[in-house]
Amino acid sequence: MADTPCITSTDTALRRGTLISLVSADEARVLFEDGTPEEVECDILHAAPTPLLVAPGDVVLVWRPVNGDRAVVLGRLGQSAASTRRPAPNAPAELVLEATNSLTLRVGDGSITIRDGKILIKGTDLVSHAQRMNRIKGGAVSIN
Give pLDDT tens digits for 50-86: 778 888 999 999 998 877 788 999 988 988 776 665 6
Quick one: how far is CA 114 from the chain centroid? 29
Specify whether the CB–CB gap between 55 and 85 falls below 8 A. Answer: no
Question: Residue 143: inside a domain, yes or no?
Answer: no
- 55 and 109 housed in the same domain: no
Tally of domains in the chain: 2
* 115 residue type, one letter: R
User: For 19-44, how does the pLDDT look when each residue is reduced to its tens digit (9 = 90+)?
Assistant: 999 888 889 999 988 777 888 999 99
Domain of residue 114: give its range: 94-126
Q: Tell me which of 68 and 16 has the higher pLDDT.
A: 16
**Do 53 and 76 contact (CB within 8 A), yes or no?**
yes
